[in-house]
Amino acid sequence: MPEDTDTTLKHIQRGNLQEFEKLFRAYYPLLCHYALRFVKDTNQAEEIVQELFCQLWENRKNLKIHTSLKAYLYKATYFNSLQVLRKRGVKTQYEEYIKNNKPKSSLPIDSVEEKEIYNIVNTTLANLPDRCSKIFKMSRFEGLKYQEIADKLSISVKTVEANMGKALKAFRKNLKDYVGIIVL
């Protein structure tokens, strides 16, 4: 493990890739093991730690650590693991809701309308600008908050809001004939 974490942090903030790699090699396995205690999935634990190190490198110039670098890494791993668990819980609840609230029998007209709506949604997403589509998917399909999207894409929250407004306007326009069906 790097001996002087203050010096290591200063080197990383200046863009020293070798110091960053040294830090990564020293802490990666430890942090993966730590994250695994929470998420109980090796791949997800590795993903959490990889994402942490990516964010560390991307935000290195603006990074302000008031504790030790080691404490920062462990605390960030802990919070990122909790965030994954929270999203996993939301996804499970949603899947359970869909499973329990599916109509028992479906008339042919329902399935045709559902397919039409599905096609319109996909077409609308495909016709949106790439960033706008990505922001919409991150918000609605991944359940991320605007601030989380802004942080991940290194853009302002206002940009996220503007793109979401553009996407929602396109959906309202393209799905206007199906509003009653969607509400039901």
Identify residue 167 by its one-letter amino acid code. A
**Number of folded domains that form the chain:** 2
Same domain assignment for residues 141 and 178: yes
- Is the model's pTM score more than 0.75? no
Enclosing domain of residue 153: 103-183
Mean pLDDT (the chain) is: 82
Same domain assignment for residues 66 and 108: no
Residue 80 in this model has a pLDDT that exceeds 80: yes
90/80 Cα distance (integer angstroms): 15
| 25 falls within a domain | yes
Give the CATH number, domain containing residue 141.
Answer: 1.10.10.10
The tens digit of pLDDT for each residue in 97-151 reads 666 665 444 444 455 667 777 788 888 888 999 899 899 988 888 888 999 999 9
